Amino acid sequence: MKNVIAELAKKHECFYLYNENCIIEHTNRLKHDFPQVEFLYSIKCNANQHVIKSVFSQGFGADAASLGEVHLAVQSGLAKNQIYYSAPGKNLLDIEQSMGRAILIADSIHEIRLINRIAKKRNLVVKIGVRINPDFTFYRDGGCSSKFGVDEKQILSFLANNDCFNIKIVGIHVHLRSQELNADILAAYYKKIFLLAERFQRANKNSLEFINMGSGIGIQYSSQDVPLDTESLGQMVNEYMNAFSVTNPETKIIIEVGRYAVGKSGVYVTTVTDRKVSYGKTYLILKNTLNGFIRPSLARLVAKYASETAPVASEPLFTCKDAFEFLTLKEESDFEKVTLVGNLCTATDVITEDIMLPHLECGDVIIITNAGSYGAVLSPMQFSSQEKPAELFMTKNGEILS
Ligand SMILES: *Cc1c(COP(=O)(O)O)cnc(C)c1O
């Protein structure tokens, strides 16, 4: 990999590189460990055309968070019943344009009525899902306030007097959090979703065609993280599914993932453009850091202001303090203490302070890990009218696509 990066760095001062083999490894692991589950890819974490095509070619459907993502999924060749469109605040146009192209997941009672109205105008009965804010969290019973979905109590009482005759609610969607590494916590969450599905079915008086259990599946960011045991999680989910399928043999069980499919597959590569010493501190000035890949700058900002040693995550902007490694192509010798900053005209453009790295000169390369998800898509690339980093994709055959 380092040879490939060195070659590409001759042509590009900063770039993302996504490795298809790594995507295949991660998607295969999910398919292997959860043989009965259908997976969706959450496009919002990385919408690069080669990345999404690669994940879809592994048999994943799409979790679209906008009309634009519905279009991306359609253009990538997915069928209507493989695309689930779930987001708060869909407007009339979003619904009109996505109806017939994706399965709509209503995020509020207002949206249910809006979809019903459009379906009525088109003389259709449209099958939809509804996102629920359940009466539980990841960690305890009892729900909490959320901008997402419809509170469980509200949707159950809506169903009791459902007067929307041009829709049929055939699915539920729950997603409460990201980046969980504890298999027991995730399993307990999934179990509660099956119980919720039973409550829902009783109120809805027909059986569900799908249950979308959302995400939560995390990846190793810090070297302190213990990777999620997907094998034992898969076994527990399998048990719940088997029990549920006795009375609901037709219901599809869905898990959607973003970061797990692609997070580890990407690196961000940038180049030293200057080095200077100020009051005894050595700075390496790098091409497009905060604006090219914002998450290391955000992590350093949080670490600077948080008093705790392990500030609480705020996904997908901040995961944990040591979420990224800074690697070089140099021999591990001749170390010096450096601070890595970017070329923007703002003092906040710092990605890490006082770390030990091999001595680097202008033209040398820094590689930042864990850049496959929430990297390019989150970064403020318009700021300061800098050149955008290239996004390169290495196919399983070693071919580089841009
Ligand atoms: C962002 C998002 C995901 C993906 O989360 P990851 O932590 O990247 O797997 C899944 N479901 C919903 C509803 C989301 O908003």
> Residue 127: its pLDDT value, please?
97
**CA–CA distance, 15 with 21 (Å, rounded to integer):** 18
> Residue 332: its pLDDT value, please?
75
Pocket flag, ligand 1, residue 129 (CB < 6 Å)? no
Q: Which of 48, 40, 53, 192 is nearest to 129 (CA)?
A: 40
**CA–CA distance, 77 with 401 (Å, rounded to integer):** 19
Contacts of 367 (CB under 8 A, 6+ apart): 5, 267, 268, 269, 326, 327, 328, 329
Under DSSP, the state recorded for 250 is: T
What percent of the chain lies above the pLDDT cut of 70? 100
C-beta neighbour count of 256 within 10 angstroms: 26
Radius of gyration in angstroms for the set of CA atoms belonging to the chain, rounded to a whole number? 23
Under DSSP, the state recorded for 176 is: -
Is residue 142 pLDDT above 80, yes or no? yes
The pLDDT tens digits for 57-89 are 999 999 999 999 999 999 999 999 999 999 999
From the CA of 258, how far away is ligand 1's center (Å)?
6
What's the predicted TM-score (pTM) here? Answer: 0.96
Backbone angles phi, psi at 240, to 5 degrees: -60, -40
pLDDT tier, 357 (very low <50, low <70, confident <90, very high otherwise): very high
**CA–CA distance, 234 with 253 (Å, rounded to integer):** 13
Per the CB < 8 A criterion, the answer to whether 5 and 365 are in contact is yes
From the CA of 316, how far away is ligand 1's center (Å)?
9
Pocket flag, ligand 1, residue 321 (CB < 6 Å)? no
From the CA of 121, how far away is ligand 1's center (Å)?
33
Residue 232 gets the label, from left (phi > 0), alpha (psi -120 to 50) or beta, of alpha
Is residue 400 pLDDT above 80, yes or no? yes
> Residue 296: its pLDDT value, please?
97
**CA–CA distance, 312 with 324 (Å, rounded to integer):** 16
The pLDDT tens digits for 213-271 are 998 999 999 999 999 999 999 999 999 999 999 999 999 999 999 999 999 999 999 99
C-beta neighbour count of 160 within 10 angstroms: 10
C-beta neighbour count of 359 within 10 angstroms: 15
Amino acid at 276: K
Pocket flag, ligand 1, residue 360 (CB < 6 Å)? no
Atom of ligand 1 nearest to the CA of 65: 15
pLDDT tier, 393 (very low <50, low <70, confident <90, very high otherwise): very high
Is residue 212 pLDDT above 90, yes or no? yes
200-221: buried (b, 16+ CB within 10 Å) or exposed (e) per residue?
A: bbeebeeebbbbbbbbbbbbeb
**CA–CA distance, 295 with 300 (Å, rounded to integer):** 9
